[in-house]
Structure 1
Amino acid sequence: MPRGRTPRRRSRMLRHCVVGAVAVLAASAGVGALAPSAGAASTVGIRVDAGTSLGTVPSSGAGLNTGVGDENMGTAKVTSLMKAAGVRQLRFPGGSGADAYHWKTHTMDDGGWIAPNTDFDHFMATAKKVSAQPILTANYGSGTPQEAADWVKYANVDKGYGVKYWEIGNEVYGNGHYGNGKGWELDKHADKSPTAYAKNLVAYAKAMKAVDPKVKIGAVLTTPGGWPDTEKAPGDSADWNHTVLSIAGRSIDFVIVHWYPGGTTTADLLNTPSRIAGVRSTLRSLIAQYAGSRAASVEIAVTENGAVGSPAQTSQAAALFAPDTYMTWFEQGATHVDWWNLHNGTDQAPTTVNGQTDYQDGGVLSAGTCAGGKCEPPRDTPFPTYWGIRSLTALAQPGDTMVKSSSGNASVAVHAVRSSNGGLNVMLINKSPQKAAQVSLSYAGFTPAAGAVTTVSYAQGGTALTTAKRGTAAAQTLPPYSITTLQMKSASGTAGVAKPTPAPTPTAAAPVVSGTTGTRAQGEIGAPVDGTTPSSTSGGLASTGVSTTVTYSALGGLLVIAAGGMLALRGRRRRASHRK
């Protein structure tokens, strides 16, 4: 425990950062097995179609969650680390705490912990140092439309901050309406139904846009396939998403989901990006149904995303998951993806995952906490997840074009980007913890220059990204559990290749399978793990095209619905130092 922190204070700090319910997508098979490396290894075929665009790398996509409980949020070391990782968006004031936080008085309605120098102006100073766009969560649980409108006025009229994106509440569906007791999300409204939220959402949007018509208003949705998606409480005529969008669909500018796919094994976690296409497709179908002529302009924001609930949270598997899930969401049209969390802390003893210590901490930087007689590395030490996110800076810059790519084996994920200088960058992620992967690469719409290729890699146990000349554009050997990005120039005389053309837009939504199993899998805090339904270097990423293209073959899997049994995990984390 950091000096000066009492367990009682740590509990209060945790309360405002608790996250809500989401689907746990547990693949029924593990990560596709690699054939033995060295000599007898099978070669994984990688195909890059540099002539087919999946959209533009968004300018504000690669984001992080921050909170009023994080006294180190704005230090010189932390802001430097965030900037170097290409972070382009910061979310504030922090998870469930947003529904208790009053910006004007810098207080928590539920008595939650607030650290010094974390008020709104200090946060904005941090965002400026990082060169990151803010995304703010207005207090729905204990606030009012007028309070939110006053915040817009202060931010954009009085201070000239130009804050564009505003969420209305955090995980409002976790307010107890679906029979899970009081839930995890503070909501002081007498009516906690989706109908009430939707009507109040319209009032928030009207009040806030009256102050600044340029602001964009976001609606909280349940993640398709995750609890309480499709649930109807007594008196409801429809589920949360259909109800909210039927009332407020023409008053919003983006929809919000949270993505904590979890899994019982690291293989489960690493398979989950293949499910994102189905989730996005379902969301697009809902938006098209209710947003009318504005549907195409309504964005998808994943304002919480992470490995919380999986066996690996700070070790190498989580590091591999991070860039894969960011890029998959971007390729599927998300304009914002914010990792949970900058600092987090834990009250759980470290575990060993594939031979590496995992501190069971959802942050990208160490909070320096201790549990079970063992302590994390010194405060602000980057966890492997930090380096996984930072690996994106070797792949893409804002405005670059994502292009179609595919892998012949699900054990190697691939993402490809045409850079603004005419080159091609290809990220390869070897998901086998023990075996190297031999890969052969072929290209359409791009001819790489001959000779050794510049690679930027992050391997197990690394404390930095490593740049080297290694292999060729046609063949590479990927170390076990590694991220390798090839940075290629075009062959002489081929620089005038035509601009990539957009991939075809899907005409029908892919189904999101739902069901219950006895599989014990962990998802976002606040959801059950037993399958029951409750009586509830620098750079950056961020608008992208929509495509059904998946960057590696999808494995057959089971969708485990996350619901109230996960409250036990939430209780454990409340006793943690989840104060940020």
Structure 2
Amino acid sequence: MPEIPLRVASAVLLTLTALNGPTAYADDVTPVTVTVNARAALATVPETGIGTNHAIWDSNLGTDETADRLKDAGVKLLRYPGGSYSDIYHWADHTAPGGYVAPGTDFDTFMRGARRTGAQAMVTANYGTGTAEEAAAWVRYANVTKGYGVKYWEIGNENYGNGHYGSAWEADDHADKSPAEYARNVVAYAEAMKAVDPTVKIGAVLTTAANWPDGLIAGGDDGTWNKVVLSIAGPKIDFVILHWYPGAFDKAGHVTDMLDLTRRQIAEHAGPGSERIGIAMTEFNTGTSSNGTNTQPGALAAADAYATLLANGVFTVDWWNVHNGIGNVTQVEGQTDYGDFGLLSSATCTSDGSVCEPPLNTPFAPYHALRMMSVFARAGDQFVRAASDQAKVSAHAVRRPNGDLAVMLINTSSDTSYPVTIGYSGFSPATGAPTVLTHTNGATGITSSTSGSATSRTLPPLSLTTVVVHPSSAQTGLPGAPGQPKASTVTDTTATITWPTASTGTRPIVKYEVHRDNGAVSEQLGETAGTSFTVGNLKPGTRYTVNVIARDSGGGVSWASPPLTFTTGTPASSSCAVRLTDQSDWGNGYVGAIDITNNGAPINGWTLNFTWPRTWQSLGSGWSAVWTQNGSNVKVVNEPANGSLPTGASTTIGFVGNYSGPNILPAVFTLNGTVCTTR
């Protein structure tokens, strides 16, 4: 992300005030149904979940005012020294040749502010113009000399932006700018840094699914950036680094596939034990300066994305940036949007002085979104499935260790107050009024009240609402949650699931139940008295997420286990086989080749069918067959020249596939109605 050097003076802070939003709604508005499923557990909220970026060109990086604002927002991780500056910054003499370094932004000042905030540090070591020895010396100073205990260390910033794929914004003095050279240096950095402090965690830069240059293969490389980096550096790293600037406010639906593709790449290329490798989103911002970055639409998108990323197991999401500076000034939803990617005002003005931001450290709307996130999803809470039947309303939920349930509701409509009915599965809410937290368009704070019921709420336009609900009965004496399930012997239609024994409560455990997440509805797949169960009747090429719960002799039910996600394959043997390869990718489209092999009786005339996994995928064109698309379904019929396939014969057809989100390739193909083996 491009940085804007700041030269701003201190100013007094504004006092936060509460503002209630409207609650009336039109008679013709269709009520919204939100479903919360406490048995469909997702990731547990990490201590480092809510993060943001600091930059050495921000003269307010180390002030007490800034630290206290971030503490109030619940920020628990601070990244330093700031985006692309990381690859020109030399920590020992606090210089960044070619860039601006503000006074009072050195490493010790940063750490003092981080401690005042109560946040852990994420430090980016200089790959572009630095060395492994320089990084190791930084670890020694931080953790041995000063005792700061900095755990997380990235190797470089957006190093794929060094010109290797054409665009060049990231400094890189290496003659070889390939992913292989970066990966070899990651290994050297990791070894040198861990020799100083074996407890540090090392992160390597990856590209983000469906974001440039993901999918591209440059000349001379053995594969994409991610494949090459993971193949070489995988055994030496502890986490991978993604950056995401979706440029629109409706992209949270991409997150699950984005992370699934990343985990597939890690599993395939990073070697044995790769399940230890975590995912950090160390730069994130919701949009562009043209669509309301620091006003309420950006805040709503921020809350939606933070919740979705954390629910899917990312261990930190770090907003870009604390202070960033004024950009393109517009009016968005009745508020002035300064085109500022910061959480807090930098009090800067346009070049002609005609418009100035509010006083220094005035919170922008996304600040309140992070603050709402920190009170909604606290460290140790467990995300559970929640869904809405209205596209303008998003829902997220967490279950707390004390048995409470918190539900966050996001109304993105500009002009409609939606009445919402909340239904619960696997949880019985108390009848008393819940605690309700609300942030509305233009509000300078979050209001808190005890009002209404656990099952109904009216959402003001452009609002964030969190409802905290108590259980109807005390949550004592129940079994503990089963441990992390694992899948083995996954075929096209079956999977064997095993899990650690749950701890007993006041009564013995009599059985375990295996539940599949199907949106916000659970489908029980089976039950057993043991700790292993083979699930049948699964669909080929389908992603499943399951949880296990324990039930005791009195009917008491445990919390759900951590989630297990697995994908079924296709038949091990079939009368046909298909191989799909992505031969050339350019970020929003690709050339695909499909090899069809007939393993059965001779065929004279064939039809191949498959379905695009996602709505953002489509057929551009095809050749060597007659291609048609109806909805998400693709039908391919032979041409006269390749209609005859004797036993053992193959033919190859090709197409252009378009996509505008993570490109999950089709996995299930039928030839004349028979499911083929996908190779």
TM-score bracket for this pair, using the shorter chain length: 0.7 to 0.9
- Determine the structure 2 residue equivalent to 1:344: 324
2:243 is aligned with 1:258: yes
2:67 is aligned with 1:56: no
SS, match of residue 236 in structure 1: coil
Distance 1:499 1:401 in 2: 10
- Determine the structure 1 residue equivalent to 2:356: 375
Written as runs of structure 1 = structure 2, the 5 A alignment for 1:63-102 is 63-102=51-90
- Determine the structure 2 residue equivalent to 1:39: 27
- Determine the structure 2 residue equivalent to 1:507: 567
2:392 is aligned with 1:407: no
Q: CA deviation at 1:147?
A: 0.2
- Determine the structure 2 residue equivalent to 1:394: 375
* Partner amino acid, structure 1, of 2:203: G
2:480 is aligned with 1:492: no
- Determine the structure 1 residue equivalent to 2:417: 436
Alpha-carbon displacement from aligned partner over 1:66-106 (angstroms, at most 9, x marks no partner): 01111112222211111111100000000000000000000
- Determine the structure 2 residue equivalent to 1:160: 147
The answer as to whether partners of 1:13 and 1:114 remain within 8 angstroms in 2 is no
* Partner amino acid, structure 2, of 1:499: W
Higher strand share: 2
- Determine the structure 1 residue equivalent to 2:546: none
Alpha-carbon displacement from aligned partner over 1:289-327 (angstroms, at most 9, x marks no partner): 122332111000000001242611101001101111111
Higher helix share: 1
RMSD: 2.4
The answer as to whether partners of 2:57 and 2:101 remain within 8 angstroms in 1 is yes
SS, match of residue 296 in structure 1: helix
Task: Give 1 or 2 for the bigger CA radius of gyration.
Answer: 2
- Determine the structure 1 residue equivalent to 2:645: none
The answer as to whether partners of 2:201 and 2:238 remain within 8 angstroms in 1 is yes
- Determine the structure 2 residue equivalent to 1:423: 404
Q: CA deviation at 1:339?
A: 0.3
Distance 2:437 2:274 in 1: 39
- Determine the structure 1 residue equivalent to 2:277: 298
Query: Given the superposition, is the C-alpha separation of residues 429 and 508 from structure 1 closer, same or farther in structure 2, using an over 3 Å criterion?
Result: farther
SS, match of residue 235 in structure 2: coil
TM-score with structure 2 length normalisation?
Answer: 0.69
Distance 1:555 1:454 in 2: 38
SS, match of residue 468 in structure 2: strand
Distance 1:48 1:68 in 2: 43
- Determine the structure 2 residue equivalent to 1:196: 181
Gaps of 5+ in 2: 8-23, 479-556, 570-579, 591-613, 618-657, 663-679
- Determine the structure 2 residue equivalent to 1:146: 133
In structure 2, which of residues 81, 103, 120 is the aligned counterpart of residue 116 of structure 1? Answer: 103
Written as runs of structure 1 = structure 2, the 5 A alignment for 1:247-326 is 247-263=232-248, 269=249, 271-309=250-288, 311-326=291-306
- Determine the structure 1 residue equivalent to 2:210: 225
2:313 is aligned with 1:333: yes
Distance 2:6 2:475 in 1: 57
Distance 1:230 1:11 in 2: 30
Distance 1:561 1:185 in 2: 25
2:253 is aligned with 1:240: no
Distance 1:559 1:390 in 2: 34
Alpha-carbon displacement from aligned partner over 1:435-472 (angstroms, at most 9, x marks no partner): 11111111112111113222000001100100112321
Distance 1:262 1:361 in 2: 14
Aligned length: 487
Distance 1:11 1:297 in 2: 36
Distance 1:401 1:494 in 2: 16
Distance 1:92 1:436 in 2: 41
* Partner amino acid, structure 2, of 1:445: G
The answer as to whether partners of 1:148 and 1:204 remain within 8 angstroms in 2 is yes
Query: Given the superposition, is the C-alpha separation of residues 147 and 446 from structure 1 closer, same or farther in structure 2, using an over 3 Å criterion?
Result: same
Query: Given the superposition, is the C-alpha separation of residues 79 and 47 from structure 1 closer, same or farther in structure 2, using an over 3 Å criterion?
Result: same
The answer as to whether partners of 1:67 and 1:93 remain within 8 angstroms in 2 is yes
* Partner amino acid, structure 2, of 1:251: K
Query: Given the superposition, is the C-alpha separation of residues 499 and 137 from structure 1 closer, same or farther in structure 2, using an over 3 Å criterion?
Result: same
SS, match of residue 565 in structure 2: coil
Distance 2:659 2:89 in 1: 34
Give the number of the structure with larger relative contact order, counting CA–CA contacts within 8 Å between residues 6 or more apart.
1
SS, match of residue 102 in structure 1: coil
2:198 is aligned with 1:213: yes
Q: CA deviation at 1:560?
A: 4.6
In structure 1, which of residues 170, 175, 179 is the aligned counterpart of residue 166 of structure 2? Answer: 179
SS, match of residue 396 in structure 2: strand
Q: CA deviation at 1:499?
A: 1.7
* Partner amino acid, structure 2, of 1:366: S
Distance 2:141 2:204 in 1: 22
SS, match of residue 502 in structure 1: coil
Distance 2:284 2:391 in 1: 22
TM-score with structure 1 length normalisation?
Answer: 0.80
Query: Given the superposition, is the C-alpha separation of residues 494 and 366 from structure 1 closer, same or farther in structure 2, using an over 3 Å criterion?
Result: same
Distance 1:419 1:166 in 2: 30
SS, match of residue 483 in structure 1: strand
The answer as to whether partners of 2:6 and 2:59 remain within 8 angstroms in 1 is no
SS, match of residue 357 in structure 1: strand
- Determine the structure 2 residue equivalent to 1:130: 117
Alpha-carbon displacement from aligned partner over 1:230-285 (angstroms, at most 9, x marks no partner): 1122222311111111111111110001011003xxxxx1x201100011000000
Q: CA deviation at 1:493?
A: 4.9
The answer as to whether partners of 2:157 and 2:205 remain within 8 angstroms in 1 is yes
* Partner amino acid, structure 1, of 2:81: P
* Partner amino acid, structure 2, of 1:142: T
Gaps of 5+ in 1: 1-9, 15-35, 264-268, 518-530, 533-553, 563-580
The answer as to whether partners of 2:438 and 2:464 remain within 8 angstroms in 1 is yes
Q: Identity of aligned pairs, percent?
A: 47
The answer as to whether partners of 2:435 and 2:468 remain within 8 angstroms in 1 is yes
* Partner amino acid, structure 1, of 2:565: T
